[in-house]
Chains A and B, each alone.
Chain A
Amino acid sequence: MASEGRNYAHLVQDDRVHGDIYLDPDIFDQEMERIFHHGWVYIAHESEFPEPGDFRTSGVGRQPIILTRDEMRHVHVLLNRCTHRAASVCQAERGNARLFRCAYHGWSFRNTGELAGVPYADGYGPDFRREDFGLRSLPRVDSYRGFLFGSVQPTGITLREHLGAPVMEQMDLFCDLSPSGQIDLSAGTHRYGFDGNWKLQVENTIDGYHPNFTHQAFFKGVQQRMGLNMTLFEGNSGGFNRDLGNGHTLLDSRGFSRTDPLSQRRVEMIKLMAKPYYEALVDRHGEAHAEDLLRFNGTHMNIFPNLMLLQNQVRVVGPIRVDRTDIHVQPALLKDAPDVINTMRLRMHEQFYGPAGGGNPDDAEMFERVQVGLQASVDPWLFIGRGLHRERHDSDGTRYGQMTDELSQRGILHHWRKLMLAGESRES
C-alpha cells in the first residue's frame, strides 16, 4: 500500500481523493464496521412483505437479516442466524412462514423471533431458558414512508436526524406520485453488478457531469427518434447539484422542470391518458403541487450510504468486496394509480435501466474502467474540484452548485471521511 497508510484526512482532501479508498481491502473492512455496521442503513420497503407471515431477507453490511410481519402485522427485523450454532435459518429471499426451522439441528423460531422448539430438550439442564435463545433482533429499526432502515448500534442519532428535512421532502415527492401516497415494490428487481468499488456507483448516481458523455448514444437516440432535446445536463442548465448533509446528495431539477417544455409535456400527457389519476393528485395536494409532483417526476437522490431514489426506481448498492459491487434496482409502482400509469413507468424504466438498458451498462463500464485506471499509482489522485469556487448556501441549510459541479461527490466523500475518522477515534 501507499506510504500514506490510512490517514483519512490525507486520503480525502477538499478537492481530491486518493485511489486507495477504492482499492485497499483493509479500508473496505473498516467501511463495513464504521459505516455499514454503525449508522443507519436502508434494509427494505414495507410493501415487500405486506401480509401477516410474509418475510423478506436482506442484509446490513455483512450481517444477514430477515424482515418478518407477524400475525398482528408488527414488523420484526431478526438476524438470520440460529442462536444454537449459527446456521442461517431462512434461505429464501421472500415468502410466507410462521416458523423458521433451522435445518442443522432442528431448532425452530416463530416469525417474532421467539424460540418455539428445541429437539430432545432434556439434553439441556435446568438453567436453560428458551427466552434467552430467540433470534436476535437488529438493535435499531425505524422507517419513513415505508422505507425501513436499520442500525447495528443500539444508540446514536435518530433516523429522522440522520435523514434531515430536505431528504424527507424528496422522499415525499417520490411517494406522493401515488394517489394514496404509497409506493409498492412488488414489480420485481433488476440485478446487475460490476467489478469496481461501491462508492463509484454512489458518486455516479448524482453525477450531473457524466450523462452527456457516458450516455451520449442514448440521448442522441432520444433526440433523433423522438425529437426530444435533453438540456438538463448541460454546463449552463438551470439544474442544481445539492449537498443535503450527512452524505445525502441530490440532482435538483425542480426549478429546471418548472420551465422545461419536456416536463410540461409529460404533465399534459398524463392529463390526457389518466385524467382520474391527475384529479386524484389535485384533490390530495392542490393543483399547483400536483403539477409540480408530475413535473419533478420523483426525485434523483442518494441517501447515504446505500439507497438511491431515481425517478421511478429504488436502487440499493451492495458492496461485496473492495472491487465488486452488486446493484438491485426495483421500479416503484404507485399504489392506487391506474395500470396505464404503472405500466408506462415500467416500460420507461426498462429503456435505460437494468442489464440490457440503454444507460446502466455504460455506467458499469465506466466503473470498471476506473477500477483499471486506479492501478496506475504514479499519480494516485482523483480530482473532484469542479465547481468548488461557486458553491452557494441555500436558506434550508443545504449547499448547492450548478448541475454539472462535483459538490455532491465532495458531499459524499467528505462525510465518508468524517465517519471513517469517527470510527478511528472510537476504536483507539
Chain B
Amino acid sequence: MSFDRDAVESFLFLEARLLDGMAYEAWLELFDEKTLYWMPSNRDHTDPAREVSIVYADRDQLGFRVDQLQSGSAWVQDPPPRLCRAVSNIEIREAEDGDLDVESVVQVMVLRRHKSRTLMGRVQHRLRPHTEGFRIVQKKVVLVDNDEVIDDLTFLV
C-alpha cells in the first residue's frame, strides 16, 4: 500500500469543510485544470453524451457556477442555506500513473427558511498527488434521489 490514507481522508474532509462554509473559490482550487465534475441525473447507468446530467462541468464551467454563487444575485442563496455534511465509507484504490480512486458516501443536511432536507449519495474522486496534498482530476456524485423531484442543488455537493 503506497498511499497515505490519512492524507486522503484529510483532503476529503477539507473539501467538505470548504463546501459547508460555501468557500467556493478555495474549493475550486482543489480541482485540476483538466477536471471533470459530473453529477448524473436518472440513476447511475447513463451515457453523458446521450443523457442529461444534473451537472457535467469542466473547470471553466465550475468557475462560471462559482462566479454566479458569489455574485450577490444568486437569489436561491439569499438567504444562504446552512449546510453540514458527513463523509464516510471511504475506500481507496490505486489507479494508473499514481492517481488514486476514492469512493465515499456523503450525507448533507440542508437547512433553509426553516425547512431541512437531507441529500445522500456515493461520491467517486480521482485524486492526483500534488505539492499541497491532492488535486481532483474527476469527481462524480451519484445522489440516491437523482431521478426524483429534487429542489435546489446549486450550492453543489
**With the chains together, A191 CA to B39 CA distance in Å?**
14
Known: A188-B46, A350-B54. A356 touches B156 (CB 8 A): yes
Q: Determine whether the beta carbon of A193 is less than 8 Å from that of B149.
A: yes
Say if the beta carbon of B116 comes within 8 Å of chain A. Answer: no
Q: Which residues of A contact B57 (CB under 8 A)?
A: 350
Known: A187-B50, A221-B71, A365-B76. A358 touches B55 (CB 8 A): no
Q: Determine whether the beta carbon of B75 is less than 8 Å from that of A362.
A: yes
Give the shortest distance, in Å, between A14 (CB) and chain B (any CB). Answer: 30
Interface size on A, residues (CB 8 A): 39
Give the shortest distance, in Å, between B155 (CB) and chain A (any CB). Answer: 9
Give the shortest distance, in Å, between B143 (CB) and chain A (any CB). Answer: 10
Q: Determine whether the beta carbon of B55 is less than 8 Å from that of A356.
A: yes
Within 8 A of B (CB), among A213-246: 214, 216-218, 220-221, 224-225
Q: Determine whether the beta carbon of A362 is less than 8 Å from that of B74.
A: yes
Q: Which residues of B contact A217 (CB under 8 A)?
A: 67-68, 71-74
Say if the beta carbon of A189 comes within 8 Å of chain B. Answer: yes
Q: Determine whether the beta carbon of B52 is less than 8 Å from that of A354.
A: yes
Known: A339-B49, A355-B150. A188 touches B76 (CB 8 A): no
Neighbour of B52 across the interface among A221, A224, A331, A358, CB < 8 A: A331
Q: Determine whether the beta carbon of A364 is less than 8 Å from that of B151.
A: yes
**With the chains together, A131 CA to B30 CA distance in Å?**
66
Say if the beta carbon of B3 comes within 8 Å of chain A. Answer: no
* A-contact bits for B31-52, CB 8 A (1 contact / 0 none): 0000000010110001011111
Within 8 A of A (CB), among B6-48: 39, 41-42, 46, 48
User: What would 4 more interface pairs be, CB under 8 Å, given A221-B67, A221-B71?
Assistant: A188-B147, A221-B64, A225-B60, A346-B51
Which 6 pairs, one residue from A and one from B, show the smallest C-beta to C-beta distance? Answer: A217-B71, A188-B42, A356-B153, A365-B76, A355-B153, A217-B73
